[in-house]
Structure 1
């Protein structure tokens, strides 16, 4: 079977050795489309906006515009521009359950504080608060762009993207020169760069008036007013994120990999989106789910802990079942099955000591099935049952999906979580399934094109059963 593990876990089949020439070309073509997507999807809003555009092109319509649904109908719903659910209605009764692939569209970044602008030493800077788990030193001395929205005082919403065009300025966080960094370099890496020092350089030319106390800061305010119609108070009602100012790039002499910001977890978003867009009318109703706030605990009204997903399923049920009831909704959810589409850590040749090599995922060896995540005794994990692991294995093998098993590091080394446990709370079976990355949560994460393609094929096979 294509996906079977060999007796030696170190000798797993590589995707490229199992694909013929046409399969290899299909993987490359898919990766090129993904590369363009992730270059334009650097915030959760941009991710959902691009996903919605592709969904409309694929024949999906707003669920709210459909008073009733029949097999083959393709619908979607969006919550506050940051969470999205898509469904293809199946031929079987909805009470038999759904096939769900759920990912998250947020990624670690730097958010501007509500009152960010200040001047120091003749320079204007913007204060930030990091979002999600980052190594703070990785965000210094790189070009950064500003992406986001501002709701002005007059009620108009202004979209900002500064730093992506070649003609745009970029921003950065200057690091301390090595000549003066003796004390800094003696600190632990987690303490060498503080959160409060992650301040963006944004200006250095003062206004001419000597009556103004902070002349460079004033010049920045005047430029914001002239170019974007923004006042300083408008920062209070703004969502502006600092993200790496570079596009996704092919990586390696053989172009086998993609290096990009935000692949955790937008590689899963794109793969799942394409899987449901390419899906013919299934037997069981198929759902692709893209949630927000996973990096900070899936909180808020766009996170997985919100009622958005449950409400979406309720709206489907009300349009598909003549005798809709709360009990019916609970049955649908409990009888569903899900893949929590999230990335895993690949074995890095530079840091093999943090991984259990026998159970570590390897780049280029297929989509990763992760039975449990969590930390410190599986805390926070949903821990998939043997029966469901067996079901997914058989499904992938029957559909030629090249897969591997993986865990997130050695026992007690660290750990992490996904939305799997929140899906499992409804009673459904769920397992984590996604692409292995190097440099996860860094400004430039690395994924293998063969794994990305197998994630798409795995998600499509799962949604279509």
Structure 2
């Protein structure tokens, strides 16, 4: 069974809407490269659409009713948006869930050092990466530095045209005989992914010259950090600085049909989920519509901001309390009666690596929203396996809304595999299925998606919120 290329369906109005969405998407992923940035941007967009802070409603004891819209934020990195529907919450919600973290390099707590007249920043990689892909790329620093006095300094260097960038160095081919003979996972080891950030020494003149720094290049770098951010070296102990590819996402191909950019796993699904949630406007949906954007999926959905935390459940409990449906049993009923699309990217079929795919059960760029009945690895290990009845319901919703969609697995059996957040909300007994956008070069510094799939995902997510 082969699904038609979505591009063949489009008239002029579709193409115009597709290009507007793609342009907004490119802006979003170019400007928001960390989970903090994505969460803050999502809150700003939500508030512009009438969403209010749930924490304020709780403090004020303000009752919630059908049509009300609230947001809840956890540690600046995970977000729940809820648009209350006409039906009681205990009858279930329609939930979109995606993650806003992406593979990257993180600065260690004690990162700065000097070696042979260079200053470096030591890193620890985050998520699944191929280390060799991160050398000689222009890199940017994004994040925050929390100081002991309680102030938090935002850091963003490497994105503006006048900014410097950073890089991980590589060995010249002329001396790389031994390196080239290594396995791919040993060519560049994780401990060697250090960021080159300076070569100029601090020059001390006059009477103070005898007290010149033993590490003058590191000293000059610290001097610049003090001047720009008012921080000292110890402030790195309480910093969260992420190292990401510098530069904007771009249109790809002569036909401009694709997008290449950093962090599309999973911000392509997070962005389209957010856009679908906000598209409900001031209407009162039948069931409460929820969009959950979480952190830490790339390392197992752990921690206070991952899907495995109690943040989502606690937010729903607070909403139900203010809606007059509080209590542990109504909460359990609401969660069990809910339906969810676990929105995460799928591996796009790549003819250059066809041997690891099974063609008739693969996702193809340009053929629309992808549904994965199950993910996992080998014997479906670690997977949520959606029921046949739920898959049939999803098919009906997508067909009725004219959404182009396809089904897929993550590669050939025993070729590898992977997981999503789907199994975590499924523990409540709710229906959950993985859905998302096909991506080429997943987990690389620059990933590729199709504008058509972004457009169909946005349509499909809205159809789900309205009709599930």
Per the shorter chain, which TM-score range? over 0.9
Please name the residue that 2:321 is paired with. Answer: 318
Please name the residue that 2:138 is paired with. Answer: 143
Does the 8 Å CA contact 1:109/1:132 hold for their aligned counterparts?
Answer: yes
Please name the residue that 2:387 is paired with. Answer: 385
Does the 8 Å CA contact 2:96/2:343 hold for their aligned counterparts?
Answer: yes
Deviations 1:299-321 (A, max 9, x none): 00000110000001101111113
Q: CA deviation at 1:376?
A: 2.1
Separation (CA, whole Å) in 1 of partners of 2:191 and 2:55: 44
Name which of 291, 303, 313 aligns with 1:300: 303
Does the 8 Å CA contact 2:143/2:240 hold for their aligned counterparts?
Answer: yes
Separation (CA, whole Å) in 1 of partners of 2:317 and 2:193: 43
Q: CA deviation at 1:212?
A: 1.5
SS of 2:341's partner is strand
TM score, norm. by length of structure 1? 0.97
Separation (CA, whole Å) in 1 of partners of 2:147 and 2:226: 11
Separation (CA, whole Å) in 1 of partners of 2:53 and 2:378: 43
Name which of 185, 189, 196 aligns with 1:190: 185
Give the unaligned 5+ runs of structure 2.
none
SS of 1:161's partner is strand
Deviations 1:82-107 (A, max 9, x none): 00000110001111001000000100
Please name the residue that 1:162 is paired with. Answer: 157
Q: CA deviation at 1:349?
A: 1.6
**Mapped pair 1:78 → 2:79:** no
Please name the residue that 1:100 is paired with. Answer: 95
Please name the residue that 2:256 is paired with. Answer: 255
Separation (CA, whole Å) in 2 of partners of 1:295 and 1:366: 24
Does the 8 Å CA contact 1:94/1:321 hold for their aligned counterparts?
Answer: no
Give the unaligned 5+ runs of structure 1.
1-6
Does the 8 Å CA contact 2:145/2:152 hold for their aligned counterparts?
Answer: yes
Does the 8 Å CA contact 2:384/2:422 hold for their aligned counterparts?
Answer: yes
SS of 1:205's partner is coil
Please name the residue that 1:419 is paired with. Answer: 421
Does the 8 Å CA contact 1:115/1:236 hold for their aligned counterparts?
Answer: yes
Separation (CA, whole Å) in 1 of partners of 2:165 and 2:186: 26
SS of 1:408's partner is coil
Q: CA deviation at 1:423?
A: 1.0
Separation (CA, whole Å) in 1 of partners of 2:53 and 2:375: 34
Runs of 4+ in structure 1 off by over 2 angstroms are none
**Mapped pair 1:33 → 2:24:** yes
Deviations 1:356-414 (A, max 9, x none): 00100000000000110001211100100000000000100000010001111001111
Please name the residue that 1:367 is paired with. Answer: 369
TM score, norm. by length of structure 2? 0.96
SS of 2:423's partner is helix
Deviations 1:408-427 (A, max 9, x none): 10011110000000010111
Please name the residue that 1:90 is paired with. Answer: 85
Does the 8 Å CA contact 2:63/2:324 hold for their aligned counterparts?
Answer: no
Please name the residue that 1:47 is paired with. Answer: 38
Does the 8 Å CA contact 1:291/1:302 hold for their aligned counterparts?
Answer: yes
Separation (CA, whole Å) in 2 of partners of 1:185 and 1:142: 19
Separation (CA, whole Å) in 1 of partners of 2:385 and 2:299: 21
SS of 1:176's partner is coil
Q: CA deviation at 1:61?
A: 0.7
Please name the residue that 1:59 is paired with. Answer: 50
